[in-house]
C-alpha cells in the first residue's frame, strides 16, 4: 500500500481494489444508506485525487482516503437529514424502530448491521466514530457541534443497547 510521495492513478486503483470495502463499510455504518455510502466514497476519492499533492509523506493513501470518506459520509448524512444531531429537549432513551429503519434493515443483511439499526442516529454515529474509527470524544463533539457530555452519554447508551442485542443474538444461536 502506498506510503509517502504524490500518489499516482495506479496507486488509487490499487487502494480501491484493496480497501474500498472497508471505506464503504465505514460509510454504511454511519449513514445506513447504501447510496449515500457509495456517494461518500466517490466524493472522497475525487477529493483525494484533487488534493493528492497535499498528501502527507508519512501517511498511508488508503487511511487518508478512509478518513476523508468518513467525513464525507457525515456531511452527506447531515445534508440528507438536516438537524439530526441537534439535541432534543428531552434526550430520552428510545427503543422505537422508525419506519425508514425497517426498510433499511431489509436491505442490509448482517445481524450486527441490524443491531446498529436499533440505535438512534446520534448513538450510532458516536459509537462508530469513537470505537470503530478511533475518534476522540472531543473530536466527535466538535464535528457534531454537541458538548462532550452528550457524546459520552450517547456512546454509553449505544454500547448498552448493542450489548443487549448481542446477548439476544447469542441466545438465538445457542438456543
Catalog residues that contact another protein under the rule CB under 8 A: 9, 12-13, 16-17, 20-22, 24-25, 28-29, 34-35, 37-39, 41-42, 45-46, 49-50, 79-84, 88-89, 98-100, 103, 108, 110, 112-113, 116, 131-132, 159, 162-163, 166
For residue 86, the 8-state DSSP code is: S
Residue with smaller CB distance to another protein, 45 or 140: 45
Contact in structure between 19 and 63 (CB atoms under 8 Å): no
Of 159, 99, 148, residue with least CA distance to 124? 159
Grid coordinates given for 120: 438512534
Q: Within the chain, what is the greatest distance between any pair of CA atoms?
A: 56
Dihedral over Cα of 30, 34, 35, 37: its sign: positive
Grid coordinates given for 30: 454511519
Element (H, E) at 54: none
Burial of 78 (0-12, 13-18, 19+ CB in 10 A): middle
Amino acid at each position: 500500500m502506498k506510503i509517502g510521495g504524490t500518489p499516482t492513478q495506479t496507486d488509487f486503483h490499487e487502494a480501491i481494489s484493496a480497501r474500498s470495502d472497508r471505506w464503504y463499510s465505514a460509510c454504511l455504518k454511519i449513514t445506513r444508506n447504501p447510496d449515500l455510502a457509495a456517494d461518500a466514497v466517490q466524493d472522497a476519492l475525487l477529493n483525494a485525487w484533487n488534493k493528492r499533492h497535499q498528501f502527507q509523506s508519512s501517511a498511508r493513501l488508503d487511511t487518508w482516503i478512509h478518513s476523508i470518506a468518513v467525513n464525507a459520509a457525515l456531511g452527506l448524512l447531515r445534508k440528507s437529514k438536516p438537524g439530526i444531531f441537534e439535541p432534543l429537549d428531552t434526550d430520552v432513551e428510545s427503543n422505537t424502530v422508525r419506519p425508514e429503519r425497517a426498510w433499511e434493515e431489509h436491505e442490509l443483511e448482517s445481524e450486527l448491521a441490524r443491531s446498529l439499526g436499533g440505535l438512534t442516529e446520534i448513538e450510532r454515529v458516536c459509537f462508530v466514530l469513537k470505537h470503530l474509527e478511533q475518534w476522540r470524544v472531543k473530536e466527535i463533539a466538535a464535528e457534531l457541534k454537541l458538548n462532550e457530555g452528550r457524546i459520552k452519554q450517547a456512546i454509553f447508551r449505544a454500547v448498552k443497547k448493542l450489548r443487549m442485542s448481542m446477548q439476544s443474538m447469542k441466545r438465538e444461536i445457542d438456543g
